[in-house]
């Protein structure tokens, strides 16, 4: 999704080379060298197009912004406008910026626009930036607000809906006109300041209230993007300011100070367009306020700021335009209990009562309250001359101050109120202090159930860094290992674990998971020769539960084992409820029955047919599975309790040998233990080995049909780390992934978290640590895995002696390690990381890190916990794939270092 232009790199390299050569020839030629450099700096030939449309409602309408309004609008001060600036670099990359005198664009609105613009003008999602001025004197276009917050009469709700629909049409047409208007242009950047924004968070005895605070942080910058035609004639100014458009609170439509600033600039520069972009003004108010006169004066002050900027030396903008738009999942605070909500629903405060009722309804209908928010972040880089960041929501000023301080290099322009205005986005500081922007506003907005968790600031800032850094990638050393994303056509696919295997037919079999309660995991087959993906079937259907209205089979959490032309595997639940920060089997939504339990399945590769073998008891999923192919036995561990189950193919007999480690992940405190993710069979005597969180190695004995502890060694090793096995969020002393190595008749495995490779000899019971199999940067940083459980992508290559391991590596930005969460109660990645391919040649005892893997577009594969290796040595895995701003899980392939043709 990042548009890369190699010509730019060459231009820079050539310039550098030219400077070097000229330096060698003597100082007298230097002025020439400088002018040559200056000429090449301005050689990007931009195109720019502009359009505008009046969006003042034709009727009296309810106005957005203040909850205390009592009646609809009464006339207007001036017209409200939407304006579009289309930009195109000389590589054809397009960015359209749409600004409007409105309260904010909701996400749904943007999604619809995105779709239509793509269909009609082939505009890519990252090429559209929507920004609203947040005027509180515009129409209410958010129907949900009209209903929930304001109790508006039906005809007003209808007007709001109608307005929003008409606006959609107008804006599509507006963007079309701006694109049509594209003509050669020059772009430059400059800035000045204006002083009327004041921090509005004042500490009082009753906590933080909304009142002018002359000592609070502000961002008085007025960034300006200037658009000229090739003759230097001004065509447009795009300017920003970080302040609420809340000078006014009367009943006439008006753009407030931003409306006046645009009006004054356009009057001063006939024929040119002035466009306002909101900054991070979530906690900023204009001061003084409440009269039309003040709104005009602030408008004039801001227009003066723009005029002042225009008098400074412009910084010409070169391309290429590098665009990125992605979501980051933000954590919300833990929702209140049902009991607390019932109490809140009795509150005398209408907003509190209504909010509690909404949450109770969500709890009833969906079985849980959503604890995350998908937050869009947009970055537009104008070569190395300007970085524009578009943040969603009512962002407080701390974000722009921090990002401008942290992002070294070209000027940084941080806009708030972009793409999705769903509520306030407090910083960690504001959250700690409390008050309206931290908590209070959640009740009025009704879009998120609870305030953000303190991680919100770091998660957003980190995402910005990541997207800005993506634009750098073309200039850094190219990765040796390049991943190719395949498209299985399952857009809902979610993070998948194991669920892979290479068939004896040379094809790659895999299952993609889902976290929905109604659409379950899907199985696919990739044919490397034909380069084609075949959808083999729906796993829930294969279990005979297609129309049962039970929670679906959302996952295949185990690898495929082949025997007599059939692939054997097991199914697992993918729909969870998060209870006290831990994942539990999802509470069924209304009309759905509970998860029925995991199945053992077989897939006949020749007949292309599924066979349902057995369902495990207790309504639990199958977390781990292996097969004794000689004796026709399947072994499984269930989740969350950890029953050990065996299934005999010949006798068609299922036997439950009981829980193996307290109450497993179903227990609490003393009774909690993480469960082993990897069972391994010794084909010699049919024993099946696995571990417990306490580090004991257990053995199922085929001859006695019972489980016993292995005498001798255990997995409790100093180098593996110190764990409290009663606490969640790590695999404790369990081994993470194992394989049977027939030449030595031993188990090779990796311990998660520490990443130590070990060898377990069942005859002596000895566990021998061989090497640390993490990525080289992880070894050097002496850090544990970022993925809290460690990695599952651990398998023998086709040569039968080289272990392939897909593992993480730390990411460094500006020389500093990018850090994530310090603690988690779930199996998740604590921060962003690179994906490395590490191999270990067992015979030669040779470790090698083959380096980080990147997609061609510079993105990193993420949430990688599976592996299978094709017959030609190509490495296949399942990863998050982000294309066009949307993320799914899918098959990816990497031409491995040991690839044979
Ligand atoms: Zn606001």
Ligand 1 centroid, distance to 422 Cα (angstroms):
10
Residue keyed to tokens 């306020």: 289
Ligand 1 midpoint to CA 272 (Å):
29
Expressed in angstroms and rounded, the spacing between residue 410 Cα and the centre of ligand 1 is 29
How close is the Cα of 642 to the center of ligand 1, in Å? 50
- pLDDT tens, position by position, 673-721: 999 999 999 999 999 999 999 999 999 999 999 999 999 899 999 999 9
| 463 CA distance to ligand 1 middle (Å) | 24
Regions of the chain short of the pLDDT cut 70: 1-43, 144-150, 471-479, 581, 814-815, 899-901
- 861 SS3 class: coil
Going from the Cα of 282 to the center of ligand 1, the distance in angstroms, rounded, reads 6
Ligand 1 center from residue 281 Cα (angstroms):
8
The pLDDT of residue 2 is 39
C-alpha 334 to ligand 1 mean position (Å): 24
User: What is the whole-number distance in angstroms between the Cα of residue 394 and the centre of ligand 1?
Assistant: 6
Task: State the chain's maximal CA–CA distance in angstroms.
Answer: 93
3 state SS of 403? helix
pLDDT at 478: 44
Q: How many angstroms does the Cα of residue 510 sit away from the middle of ligand 1?
A: 47
Distance (Å) from CA 391 to ligand 1 centroid: 14
Burial class (CB in 10 A: 0-12, 13-18, 19+), 725: buried
Distances (CA, A) of 266 to 187, 260, 271, 358: 18, 10, 7, 45
**Of 79, 82, 76, 80, residue with least CA distance to 53:** 82
If we measure between CA atoms, which residue out of 80, 398, 416 comes closest to residue 258?
80
According to DSSP, residue 436 is labeled I
141 to 67, 154, 161, 416: CA distances (angstroms):
14, 14, 7, 19
199 Cα: distance to centroid of ligand 1 (angstroms): 13
Residue 878's closest CA among 862, 887, 891, 888? 891
Give the integer Cα–Cα distance in Å for 460 and 465: 9
Residue 159 CA to residue 140 CA, distance in Å, equals 9
Answer for the pair 399, 425: CB distance below 8 angstroms, yes or no: yes
Q: Given this model, what pLDDT does residue 812 score? A: 79
- What is the 142 CA–ligand 1 centroid distance (Å)? 14
Listing DSSP states for 760-788 in one string gives: EETTTTEEEEEEE-S-HHHHHHTPPPSBT
- Dist. CA 76 → ligand 1 center (Å): 21
Centre of ligand 1 to C-alpha 358, Å, is 22
Total residues belonging to the chain? 901
Q: Which two tokens stand for residue 490?
A: 């399952």
Coil, helix or strand at residue 708: strand
Q: Strand pairing of 183-193 and 197-199? A: unpaired
Structure tokens at 870: 């094709």
The helix or strand, by DSSP H or E, that contains position 120, with its residue range, turns out to be helix 107-121
Q: How far is residue 621's CA from residue 571's CA, in Å, rounded to a whole number? A: 7
CA dist 593 and 448 (Å) reads 27
Q: Mind spelling out the 3-state secondary structure of 187-214? A: EEEEEEECCCEEECEEEECCEEEECCCC
Compute, in angstroms, the gap from residue 306 CA to the centroid of ligand 1: 24
At which residue do the structure tokens 């090739």 appear? Answer: 230
Cβ-in-10-Å burial (0-12, 13-18, 19+) of 570 comes to buried
Which residue stretches of 527-650 are H helix? 539-542
In the reported structure, the alpha carbon of residue 396 is separated from the centroid of ligand 1 by a whole-number distance in angstroms of 10
8 Å CB contact between 807 and 791 = yes
Structure-block tokens of residue 760: 């377990």
CA angle 553, 557, 558 (to 5 degrees): 125
Closest CA to 781 of 744, 745, 755: 755
CA of 424 to the centre of ligand 1 (A): 7
Rounded to the nearest angstrom, the distance between the alpha carbon of 253 and the centre of ligand 1 is 17
Q: What CA–CA distance (Å, rounded) separates 613 from 601?
A: 5
248 alpha carbon – ligand 1 mean position (Å): 13
Q: How far is the CA of 428 from the centre of ligand 1 (A)?
A: 18
pLDDT in tens, 467-516: 998 766 543 344 578 899 999 999 999 999 999 999 999 999 999 999 99
CA 50 – ligand 1 centroid, Å: 28
Distance from Cα 437 to the centre of ligand 1, integer Å: 9
Q: What confidence score (pLDDT) does residue 147 get? A: 59
Distance between CA 619 and CA 545 in Å, rounded?
14
CA of 796 to the centre of ligand 1 (A): 57
Q: How many Å lie between the centroid of ligand 1 and the Cα of residue 849?
A: 50
SS3 384: coil
pTM over 0.85: no
* 225 strand-pairing partners: 189, 238
Q: How far is the CA of 304 from the centre of ligand 1 (A)?
A: 24
| Burial call 472-481: b when 16+ CB within 10 Å, e when fewer | ebbeeeebeb
Residue 421 Cα to ligand 1 midpoint, Å, equals 9
CA 9 to ligand 1 center in whole angstroms: 42
Structure tokens at 146: 């009209």
**CA 134 / ligand 1 centre spacing (Å):** 7
Q: How far is the CA of 273 from the centre of ligand 1 (A)?
A: 26
- The phi, psi pair for 226, rounded to 5°, reads -105, 135
Retrieve residue 111's tokens. Answer: 């999604």
Q: Which residues contact 863 (CB under 8 A, 6 or more apart)?
A: 495, 829, 879, 880, 889
* C-alpha 65 to ligand 1 mean position (Å): 7
Token pair listed for 640: 């969350």
SS3 call for 414: strand
What pLDDT score does 23 carry?
36
Token pair belonging to 403: 């990002």
The span from the CA of 413 to the CA of 416, in Å, is 10
Question: In the 8-state DSSP scheme, what is residue 859?
Answer: P
Q: How are strands ordered across the β-sheet holding 766-772?
A: 737-741, 746-750, 756-761, 766-772
- The span from the first CA to the last CA of the chain, in angstroms, equals 31
Q: How far is the CA of 264 from the centre of ligand 1 (A)?
A: 24
Ligand 1 geometric centre to CA of 101 (Å): 14
**Segment holding 566, helix H or strand E:** strand 566-570
Q: What separation in Å is there between the alpha carbon of 244 and the centre of ligand 1?
A: 6
CB 450 within 8 A of CB 358: no
Q: Ligand 1 center to residue 340 CA distance, Å? A: 28
Q: How far apart are CA 728 and CA 239, in angstroms?
A: 49
Residues whose CB is less than 8 angstroms from the CB of residue 68 and which lie 6 or more positions away in sequence, other chains included? none
Q: What is the pLDDT of residue 376?
A: 97
Phi, psi angles (nearest 5°) of residue 175: -65, -40
Dist. CA 395 → ligand 1 center (Å):
9
Give the Cβ contact number of residue 901 at 10 Å: 4
Give 426 Cα–ligand 1 centroid separation in angstroms. Answer: 12
- C-alpha 227 to ligand 1 mean position (Å): 30
């Amino acid at each position: 999704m990042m548009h890369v232009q190699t010509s730019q790199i060459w231009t820079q390299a050539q310039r550098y080379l030219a400077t070097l050569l000229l330096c060698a020839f003597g100082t007298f030629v230097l002025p020439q060298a400088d002018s040559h450099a200056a000429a090449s700096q301005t050689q990007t030939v931009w195109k720019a197009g502009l359009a505008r449309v009046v969006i003042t409602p034709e009727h009296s309408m309810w106005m957005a912004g203040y909850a205390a309004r009592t009646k609809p609008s009464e006339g207007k001060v001036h017209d409200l406008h939407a304006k579009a600036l289309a930009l195109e670099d000389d590589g054809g990359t397009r960015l359209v910026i749409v600004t409007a005198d409105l309260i904010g664009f909701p996400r749904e609105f943007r999604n619809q626009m995105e779709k239509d613009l793509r269909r009609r003008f082939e505009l890519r999602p990252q090429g559209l930036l929507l920004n609203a001025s947040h005027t509180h004197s515009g129409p209410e276009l958010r129907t949900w607000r009209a209903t929930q917050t304001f109790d508006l009469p039906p005809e007003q709700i209808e007007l709001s809906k109608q307005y929003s629909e008409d606006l959609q049409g107008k804006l599509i047409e507006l963007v079309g006109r701006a694109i049509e208007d594209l003509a050669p242009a020059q772009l430059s950047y400059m800035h000045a300041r204006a002083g009327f924004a004041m921090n509005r968070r004042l500490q009082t005895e009753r906590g933080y209230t909304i009142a002018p605070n002359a000592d609070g942080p502000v961002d008085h910058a007025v960034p300006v993007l200037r658009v000229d035609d090739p003759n230097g004639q001004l065509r447009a100014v795009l300017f920003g300011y970080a302040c609420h458009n809340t000078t006014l609170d009367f009943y006439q439509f008006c753009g407030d100070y931003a409306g006046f600033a645009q009006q004054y600039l356009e009057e001063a520069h006939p024929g040119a367009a002035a466009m306002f972009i909101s900054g991070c003004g979530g906690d900023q108010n204009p001061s003084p306020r409440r009269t039309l006169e003040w709104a005009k004066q602030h408008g004039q002050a801001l227009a003066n700021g723009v005029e002042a900027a225009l008098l400074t030396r412009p910084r010409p903008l070169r391309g290429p335009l590098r665009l990125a738009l992605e979501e980051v999942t933000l954590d919300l605070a833990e929702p209140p209990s049902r009991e607390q909500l019932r109490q809140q629903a009795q509150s005398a405060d209408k907003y509190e009562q209504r909010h509690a009722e909404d949450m109770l309804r969500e709890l009833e209908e969906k079985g849980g309250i959503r604890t995350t928010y998908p937050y869009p972040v947009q970055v537009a880089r104008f070569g190395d001359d300007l970085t524009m960041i578009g943040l969603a929501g009512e962002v407080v000023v701390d974000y722009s101050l921090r990002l401008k301080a942290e992002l070294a290099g070209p000027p940084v322009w941080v806009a708030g109120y972009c793409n999705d205005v769903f509520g306030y986005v407090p910083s960690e500081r504001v959250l700690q202090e409390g008050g309206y922007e931290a908590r209070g506003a959640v009740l009025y907005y009704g879009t998120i159930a609870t305030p953000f968790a303190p991680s919100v600031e770091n998660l957003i800032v980190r995402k910005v860094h990541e997207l800005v850094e993506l634009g750098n990638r073309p200039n850094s050393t190219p990765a040796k290992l390049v991943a190719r994303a395949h498209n299985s056509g399952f857009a809902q696919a979610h993070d998948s674990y194991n669920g892979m295997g290479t068939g004896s037919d040379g094809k790659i079999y895999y299952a993609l998971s889902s976290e929905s309660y109604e659409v379950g995991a899907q199985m696919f087959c990739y044919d490397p020769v034909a380069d084609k993906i075949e959808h083999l079937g729906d796993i829930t259907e294969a279990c005979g539960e297609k129309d049962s209205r039970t929670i679906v089979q959302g996952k295949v959490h185990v690898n495929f084992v082949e025997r007599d032309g059939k692939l054997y595997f097991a199914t697992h639940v993918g729909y969870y409820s998060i209870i006290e920060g831990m994942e539990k089997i999802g509470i069924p939504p209304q009309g759905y029955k509970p998860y029925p339990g995991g199945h053992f399945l077989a897939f006949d590769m020749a007949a292309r047919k599924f066979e349902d073998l057995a369902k495990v008891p207790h309504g639990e999923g199958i977390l781990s599975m292996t097969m004794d192919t000689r004796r026709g036995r399947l072994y499984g561990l269930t989740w969350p309790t950890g029953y050990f189950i065996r299934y005999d193919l010949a006798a068609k007999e299922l036997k439950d040998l009981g829980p193996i480690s307290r109450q497993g992940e179903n227990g609490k405190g003393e009774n909690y233990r993480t469960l082993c993710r990897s069972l391994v069979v010794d084909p010699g005597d049919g024993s099946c080995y696995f571990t417990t969180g306490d580090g004991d190695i257990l053995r199922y004995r085929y001859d006695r049909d019972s489980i016993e502890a292995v005498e001798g060694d255990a997995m409790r090793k100093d180098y593996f780390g110190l764990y409290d096995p009663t606490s969640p969020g790590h695999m404790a002393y369990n081994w993470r992934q194992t394989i049977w190595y027939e030449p030595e008749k031993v188990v090779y495995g990796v311990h998660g978290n520490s990443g130590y490779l070990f060898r377990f000899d069942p005859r002596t019971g000895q566990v021998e640590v061989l090497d640390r199999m993490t990525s080289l940067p992880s070894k050097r940083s002496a850090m544990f895995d970022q993925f809290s459980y460690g990695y599952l992508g651990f398998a023998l290559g086709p040569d039968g002696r080289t272990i392939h391991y897909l593992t993480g590596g730390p990411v460094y930005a500006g020389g500093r390690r990018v850090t994530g969460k310090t603690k988690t109660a779930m199996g998740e990645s604590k921060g962003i990381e690179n994906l490395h391919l590490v191999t270990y040649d067992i015979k030669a005892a040779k470790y090698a890190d083959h380096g980080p893997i990147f997609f061609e577009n510079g993105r990193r594969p993420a949430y990688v916990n599976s592996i299978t290796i094709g017959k030609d040595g190509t490495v296949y895995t399942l990863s998050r794939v982000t294309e066009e701003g949307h993320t799914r899980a899918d098959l990816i392939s990497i031409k491995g270092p040991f690839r044979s043709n």
